[in-house]
């Protein structure tokens, strides 16, 4: 018989495999539909105010998580239905297939030295200004995006699904989508998007570090050294301005033995993101290796999520058993006193 924890594990695994096999639907993707609704709400709620932005985030994330709560409660006594609902939610929020596809699509023009084609393709992976970037810089930008999005689009959803089930899956994806929409430090969103950006940082603190650890462990899958990946991760992660992206990018740099980071331009704003790693500048072959490493990290994170669900279930069972034993002990004691009192 399938238990609740077994249903969650089965659902996460099935959704993960569905994403690998089928990827995102071409039309009507749930995340895209959420983004459209959130954008429409933003136009109504926007104000140059952190308070208004926080309310906007609560409404959007709370609404998505609320749908998850409804699905969770509706399947509370039906493990097979819980597994199916979890699988559907997992497939909807994961982006591993799409990430790998975009990495491959970015590699193709670089392999034939089609710089203009690669510059046009870069926008599918990140928001960096592509004008003026050469082949090495384009490969670096794509490799960094693969690393960061491995955590955001694969590892974090699986961990939140393990920790909070369907509400965790949907709530996390809603928050991460809001961060992409309004979490930028632009004049319009610097205050309004502050709450979404900070909440997304908090939600990714653990997943980003687990992603980095998994990248170090999986380094041999791309011909890398776990020791070097660990050393670069621990040494260089703090150089990046993001508390989470730097963790994963540094670990990927060490695992691939390349040099990531540096000066980037976003909508005309120049940022120095530090130097991560000791190797050479990445090329198109390293971009393809980063895709393989991303897949390995995703598979490892699924295993960690399954272990976490199982451990939580065992702790819950042990807690229930202790409570039952304490209750039985109290009942036996009361029964003794009652018999003694009756005899008197």
pLDDT of residue 343: 47
pLDDT of residue 340: 58
pLDDT of residue 101: 95
Give the pair of three-digit tokens for residue 72. 């969770």
pLDDT tens digits for range 80-129: 999 999 999 999 999 999 999 999 999 999 999 999 999 999 988 988 88
pLDDT of residue 335: 64
Q: Which residues in the chain come in under a pLDDT of 70? A: 267-268, 324, 326-344
pLDDT of residue 344: 43
Q: Is the four-CA dihedral 28, 30, 35, 36 of positive or negative sign? A: positive
How far, in Å, are 57, 141, 166, 170 from residue 65 at the CA level?
Answer: 12, 33, 8, 6
As a whole number of angstroms, the longest Cα–Cα distance in the chain is 99
Give the pair of three-digit tokens for residue 228. 């070097």
Give the pair of three-digit tokens for residue 119. 């510059």
pLDDT of residue 253: 98
Residue boundaries of the structural domains of the chain? 4-343
DSSP alpha helices (H): ranges in the chain? Answer: 4-22, 30-45, 50-74, 79-93, 96-111, 115-122, 135-150, 156-182, 194-203, 205-217, 226-236, 245-256, 284-343
What is the 8-class DSSP label of residue 190? T
**What is the phi-psi region of residue 74: left when phi exceeds 0, alpha when psi lies from -120 to 50, beta otherwise?**
alpha
Distance CA 272, CA 239 (A): 9
Provide φ and ψ at 108, rounded to 5°: -60, -55
pLDDT of residue 180: 92
pTM over 0.75: yes
């Amino acid at each position: 018989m399938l238990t609740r924890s077994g249903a969650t594990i089965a659902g996460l695994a099935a959704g993960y495999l569905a994403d690998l096999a089928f990827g995102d639907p071409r039309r009507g993707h749930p995340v895209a539909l959420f983004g459209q609704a959130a954008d429409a709400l933003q136009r109504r709620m926007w104000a140059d105010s952190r308070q208004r932005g926080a309310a906007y985030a609560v409404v959007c994330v709370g609404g998505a998580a609320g749908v998850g709560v409804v699905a969770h409660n509706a399947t509370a006594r039906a493990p097979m239905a819980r597994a199916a609902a979890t699988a559907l939610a997992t497939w909807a929020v994961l982006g591993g297939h799409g990430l790998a596809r975009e990495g491959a699509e970015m590699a193709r023009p670089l392999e034939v030295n089609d710089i203009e084609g690669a510059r046009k393709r870069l926008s599918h992976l990140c928001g960096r200004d592509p004008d003026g970037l050469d082949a090495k810089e384009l490969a670096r930008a794509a490799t960094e995006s693969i690393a960061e999005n491995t955590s955001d689009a694969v590892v974090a959803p699986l961990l939140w699904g393990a920790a909070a089930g369907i509400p965790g899956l949907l709530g996390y994806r809603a928050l991460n989508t809001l961060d992409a929409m309004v979490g930028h430090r632009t004049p319009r969103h610097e205050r309004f998007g502050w709450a979404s950006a900070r909440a997304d940082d908090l939600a990714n603190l653990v997943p980003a570090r687990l992603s980095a650890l998994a990248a170090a462990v999986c380094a041999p899958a791309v011909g890398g050294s776990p020791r070097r990946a660990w050393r670069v991760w621990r040494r260089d992660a703090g150089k990046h301005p993001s508390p989470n992206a730097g963790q994963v990018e540094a670990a990927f740099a060490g695992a691939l033995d390349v040099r990531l980071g540096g000066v980037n331009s976003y909508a005309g704003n120049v940022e120095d993101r530090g130097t991560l790693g000791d190797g050479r500048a990445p090329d198109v072959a390293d971009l393809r290796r980063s895709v393989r490493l991303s897949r390995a990290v995703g598979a490892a994170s699924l295993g960690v999520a399954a272990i976490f669900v199982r451990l939580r279930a065992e702790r819950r069972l042990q807690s229930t058993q202790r409570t039952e034993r304490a209750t039985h002990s109290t009942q036996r004691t009361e029964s003794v006193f009652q018999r003694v009192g009756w005899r008197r």
